[in-house]
Chain A
Amino acid sequence: MVVSNHHLIAQGIKRAFKTDDGTELVALSDFDFEVKQGEVVALIGPSGCGKSTFLRLVAGLDTPQSGELTYNGSPITGPDPNRGFVFQQANLYPWLTVEKNVAFGLKANGTYKENRHRVQEMIDLMGLAGFEKSYPHQISGGMAARVAIAQTLVMDPDVLLLDEPLSALDAFTRAVIQDEILAMCVKFKPIVLLVTHDIEEAVYLADRVVVLSPRPGTKVAEIPVDLPHPRDRISSEFIAKRHEILDALRFE
């Protein structure tokens, strides 16, 4: 096993947005957070609690107004293939085939030649074999979500940021892809930050669940989930965890 040295630390993060009428909308305030390699952390909370904002900050797509956000000790200043991001909707490039979508990042940073075998590896891992030459409009939503994950994994990221990647899928497909994500975590041991609305998904995948409250978005609870994998969704311990999180989400 790799030595657990990758770590991400957030301290006192604040991010506010100007609305059209000039008022300030505080999306995230006084947010402290820490995660180390191999950990899967779910961020859960109602809309407007800043969970997606935080993910964009970690990705380097946005910068905080105050507070410190460091990865392995150095501040995050911009996007990096090492911190992969899977967006809410798959949003694949419609003009590229599945295979070329997966290969996009390698071609973009010029490492396609030495890593081309990884493309097929990821296609196989995510169960996309046989659809390499299909265009995005020809595949299902579940397939598209898999391609989006494969597209990110092919870059071999140390941090995987998942912004509700499965929210648009049906329950069955979601359960299947959740297991694929778990298998991938065991294999690559990345830091995983998962933003979700789905309490069951959070308990099923995460080692730790961070509960956020809205306006201003801030952390209200951190609940460890120490159940062994594979987790039984209808066991009493699992359901007890779901209750615990649901209780934490009932803020005034």
Chain B
Amino acid sequence: MMSTESVFGKVNFIEAKDALKLLAALAAIAVAIGFDALVPTVYPEGYVERYYPIFLRILFAAYLALSVLSVWFPGIRRRVVRYWGLLIALVALLSLYTYQTTKTGNLLLPVMPSPDAIIAAVFEDGAKVWKNFSASFTLLLEGVACGFVAGMIYGTLMGYSRFFNYWLQPIIKVIGPVPSTAWMAIAMVLAPSSHIASVFLVALTTWFPLSVNLSGGIRGVRKVYIERAQIMGASPLHIILHVIYPAVLPNIFTGLFMGLCFSMTSLVGAETLGVQAGLGWVINYAQGWNEFDLIFSTIIIFILMAFVLLTILFKCQKHLMKWSKGAIQW
């Protein structure tokens, strides 16, 4: 790659191919802004878009800023260039959807709110959204943490000891596959509070895939790894901590990944039926009042929460498994 000194320091010239991609994505956003500004808003009558135009402009400014920075930072460039196609697709979809809603009224309210209305729902009810988001997030973390501890212990006992495997295997086979929402009514009655019942249900959905993955992984650990440790005088505890757990790290992460995904389902279930707060409760409430814009914005918050949590999970995996040849992609 050619490079030269300029007033800004060392400049790595962007390859023409990459520069074109950046320009194409910026042009696409610009077209979307122009389209939104020039085509009159007609549905519902008298509606004025407030958030969507700002959103597009922020998107444009952010991508432009990153593109400029990418001249100096190859790391940023790789990522910015990588998302050019997806960005164009996103902008095209948003434009199409805006056209079908506010610009023509082909898709009817309240079931199909425009992008503008969806964004508006987040901002105009900011305090409520935040309160419910943090309620869900806390519940999810508490549940997943309990499920993680329970799953690690259960999976280890089931994978490592024949005795425990005999007694624990049937329990997990019976309880595991039942959707946690099916336990809801019973849990609500038995648990001292609906919050504890919800934590229990979220924990249950983390515990199940983690235990199954972990115990399967433990039984699959190469015998020679364990025998070698035995010959070198390692105690069973040392073998579990320093041979078995490192060897089954991929299984632990797969189990956690599945557990986290399932947990979000049981979270919504728990919040719809049990506790009177959280994103699941908002969806249920909004449905009752036909506020579909709030449902859409809650779903988007859900997507963001899941994305952030799973990204953290995979970053941890990448860090802990840097010894491994094939890193898992997310």
- A residues contacting B by CB (< 8 A) are 59-61, 78-81, 83-85, 87, 89, 91, 93-96, 104-105, 107-109, 135, 137, 151-152, 155
Contact = CB atoms under 8 A, between A and B. Distances in A.
A85 B231 contact: yes
B236 to A, nearest CB: 11
Nearest to A105: B232
Contacts, number: 69
B79 interface: no
Contacts of A152: 232
Contact of B232 (A61, A78, A89, A104): A104
A91 B228 contact: yes
Contacts of B246: 93, 95-96
Contacts of B247: 93, 95
A79 B323 contact: no
B234 interface: yes
Given A87-B224, A91-B222, A108-B238, A59 B323 contact: no
A96 B243 CA distance: 10
B116 to A, nearest CB: 51
Given A91-B222, A95-B323, A137-B325, A109 B234 contact: yes
B242 A108 contact: yes
A135 B327 CA distance: 14
A109 B239 CA distance: 11
- Judged by DSSP, the binding face of B is helix
B231 A61 contact: yes
A151 B232 CA distance: 9
A109 B233 contact: yes
A79 B225 contact: no
Contacts of B222: 91
A134 B231 CA distance: 24
Nearest to A136: B323
Contacts of A94: 323-324
A84 B323 contact: no
B240 to A, nearest CB: 12
A118 B222 CA distance: 28
A135 B233 CA distance: 23
B231 A81 contact: yes
Nearest to B246: A95
B230 interface: yes
A241 B222 CA distance: 38
A155 B228 CA distance: 12
Nearest to A94: B323
19 contacts: A60-B231, A61-B231, A79-B227, A79-B231, A81-B232, A83-B231, A85-B227, A85-B231, A87-B228, A91-B225, A93-B246, A95-B247, A108-B232, A108-B233, A108-B235, A135-B323, A151-B232, A155-B232, A155-B233
B202 to A, nearest CB: 31
Given A81-B233, A104-B242, 7 more contacts: A85-B228, A87-B228, A91-B225, A95-B323, A108-B233, A137-B323, A137-B325
B232 A109 contact: yes
Which of A78, A80, A95 has the most B CB atoms < 10 Å from its CB? A95
B313 to A, nearest CB: 19
Residue with the greatest number of chain A CB neighbours at <10 A, chosen from B222, B230, B247: B230
A73 to B, nearest CB: 21
- Pick the most buried of B222, B230, B232, B246: most chain A CB atoms within 10 A of its CB: B232
B229 interface: yes
Contacts of B242: 104, 107-108
Closest 8 CB pairs of A and B: A105-B232, A108-B234, A109-B233, A81-B233, A95-B246, A79-B231, A79-B230, A95-B323
Residue from A60, A79, A84 with most neighbouring chain B CB atoms (10 Å): A79
Contacts of B224: 87, 89, 91
A80 B323 contact: no
Contacts of A109: 232-234
Nearest to B235: A108
Nearest to B321: A95
Contact of B225 (A85, A93, A108, A151): A93
A148 B307 CA distance: 42
B233 A80 contact: yes
A155 B229 CA distance: 12
Contacts of A104: 229, 232, 242
Nearest to B322: A135
A80 to B, nearest CB: 7
A86 B183 CA distance: 52
Nearest to B326: A137
B57 to A, nearest CB: 48
B257 to A, nearest CB: 20
Nearest to B222: A91
A96 B235 CA distance: 18
B323 A108 contact: no
Contacts of B225: 91, 93
A58 to B, nearest CB: 11
Contacts of A61: 227, 230-231
Given A108-B238, A137-B325, A93 B231 contact: no
B267 to A, nearest CB: 33
Interface string B234-267: 1100100011001101000000000000000000
A165 to B, nearest CB: 12
A96 B229 CA distance: 13
